[in-house]
Structure 1
């Protein structure tokens, strides 16, 4: 009889522990998404070295916010893909933010010819304001917002062109 109670109690504790772990994971993901729900109101540096408010930049068309690092191979690959696939997209704004110096950001933008595109803007955030606000621990991180600044989709890590294209399309559909 004691063995049976022990087994039932053990089973109960295992089920309870599983429930707690699942709840914590779901809660963590939900709370994390809540961090990104609205476009951040942060002051960072544009390529001229002047302060710029991210929220003021994104009021009229859907925006893709990309947190990157110039030495990140995934970020480099994504820059090439975005330049080739979205070069002609004049209805979406791409905002590239890096924690690196202005000089490094300028070199990255020029290397991938993104600095020549009107809809691509680059920023330096050496104080890690974006990373802290979104609790980011790595790059790349890609966030797609509609024209009103509401989150449509996000990806932490590499994003495929097809997924990014789909997210941008959703942002345009919401903005109509």
Structure 2
């Protein structure tokens, strides 16, 4: 009886110790408690995207300094992504002073077709590349496309959006940051 009682107490102690919350300086083990990297480091991330020439890479150093920036994660076959880029292009005068970085993980050939179909190459402030290492989705904790991350002229995060957004919503987010 004494051995059974001691065994039961040992199990209860182990359960009690395991159920303790993490200390403030101890990393959380539950993914729901971890903060996405973009929130820990709210500046333009160190991305590495394969450019359309399939030989060179687009990095954050290629973004013009002192300009607002949008990083758009998309899929070439996503209807919402197509609507978003159509909205950008039909309102291009509002985006002409904003650097737009479009990234996808989809096959290179699909990205290239998307670029040609929408004639993105005609807009020097829109850069497109393939996220070969699948860096951005976990960095931003992306669940829906298109995913838009807006940065101010200093490269600091303003806000993020998942799903199609109206042009006015994006422009207002940039304006609110000015205040």
Query: TM-score scaled to structure 2, two decimals?
Result: 0.71
Once the two structures are superposed, the pairs formed by residues 137-152 of structure 1 within 5 Å of their partners are: 137-152=143-158
Match of 1:86 in 2: 92
Number of aligned positions between the proteins: 146
Once the two structures are superposed, the pairs formed by residues 8-157 of structure 1 within 5 Å of their partners are: 31-32=35-36, 34-35=39-40, 37-49=42-54, 50-87=56-93, 89-157=95-163
Query: TM-score scaled to structure 1, two decimals?
Result: 0.72
User: Structure 1 residue 87: deviation in Å?
Assistant: 4.5
SS of the equivalent of 2:35 reads: helix
Match of 1:22 in 2: none
For structure 1, the 5+ residue unaligned runs are 1-27
Q: Which runs of 4+ in 1 moved over 3 A?
A: 28-33, 168-171
Pair member with larger Rg: 2
User: Structure 1 residue 43: deviation in Å?
Assistant: 1.6
Give the distance between the partners of 1:36 and 1:117, measured in 2 at CA.
29
The structure with the greater share of residues assigned to helix is 1
User: Structure 1 residue 58: deviation in Å?
Assistant: 4.9
